Amino acid sequence: RKRCIKITTGAKTFDAILGGGVESGSITEAYGEFRTGKTQLSHTLAVTCQLGFDQGGGQGKCIYLDTEGNFRPERIEKIADRFGLDADATLDNIIVARAYASDQQCELLKPLAALIAEHGPFRMLIIDSIIALFRVDYSGRGELSERQQKLGQHLSALTRLAEDMNIAVFLVNQCTADPGAMSLFAPVVKPVGGNVLAHASCTRIHLKKGRENCRVAKVVDSPSMPEAEAQFAITDGGIAD
């Protein structure tokens, strides 16, 4: 097994609950309700993975698989500025692939794996979001098991890619209200994707809204870290303390 590299989220306390950052060689999943910072964290990681090892980076390029049309080069420029990186060079090191259907999303992995092998080093593969297209394409009654089967194949390919190339695979996931759980204060939410996604994700992070503009990250599943929460902020320069 290759030595895993930790990529900074941009926030020290957030990194601390992850044991240093988002790790290479496995899948990390972040889920949360709308506007909790999933896409902003994705943009931040697309930049920080390019930093030197001594700065919490991975000295590698990034693939950003965009399934919702949310990738914004302007955000990358601002985040690159904050970390003292050249904006154009940073953008050049992010390969953006757009998928409009779940089968296209799956098929993209083959050419992307070839790209990683030939034009590396790559350190980060982001999918924002992993399941949105599957939910649209398999929305009919009785299609759930087929959806989960296809999703499972996709996730095994991603796990293999993470391990073979020592890449951090970062998946954005949606969540839904959990009817089985009750809280007086806020709806209890759970990630979508069922057991298939739960098993594929090595590390799971729940992003929540906190007081005012504050956000909260909670590590809910990790191979090496306890459950813990950290506050963070979304700034013009990306995720920060």
Q: What is the contact surface with Mg ion in residues (CB under 5 A)?
A: 38-39
Residue 179 exposed, middle or buried by CB count within 10 Å (0-12, 13-18, 19+): exposed
Question: Which is nearer to ligand ATP, 49 or 205 (by Cβ)?
Answer: 205
Q: Is 37 in the site for ligand ATP (CB under 6 A)?
A: yes
Question: Which is nearer to ligand ATP, 28 or 36 (by Cβ)?
Answer: 36
Amino acid occupying residue 24? S
Contact 45, 28 (CB under 8 A): no
Considering CB under 6 A, how many residues would be counted as binding ligand ATP? Answer: 11
235 binds, among Mg ion, ligand ATP, none (CB under 5 to 8 A by kind): ligand ATP
Closest CA to 155 of 181, 177, 188, 125: 125
Contact 64, 115 (CB under 8 A): no
Question: Which is nearer to Mg ion, 33 or 163 (by Cβ)?
Answer: 33
Q: Is 236 in the site for ligand ATP (CB under 6 A)?
A: yes
Q: Is 74 in the site for ligand ATP (CB under 6 A)?
A: no
- Minimal distance, residue 31 CB to Mg ion, in Å: 11
Q: Is 173 in the site for ligand ATP (CB under 6 A)?
A: no
> How far apart (Å, rounded) are the C-alpha atoms in residues 123 and 53?
11
- Minimal distance, residue 174 CB to ligand ATP, in Å: 7
> How far apart (Å, rounded) are the C-alpha atoms in residues 55 and 60?
13
37 binds, among Mg ion, ligand ATP, none (CB under 5 to 8 A by kind): ligand ATP
- Minimal distance, residue 67 CB to Mg ion, in Å: 10
- Minimal distance, residue 160 CB to ligand ATP, in Å: 27
Joined together, the tokens standing for residue 55 give 């700065």
- Minimal distance, residue 162 CB to ligand ATP, in Å: 22
Q: Is 36 in the site for ligand ATP (CB under 6 A)?
A: yes
- Minimal distance, residue 144 CB to ligand ATP, in Å: 22
The residues of the shown chain that bind ligand ATP, judged by CB under 6 A, are 32, 34-40, 234-236
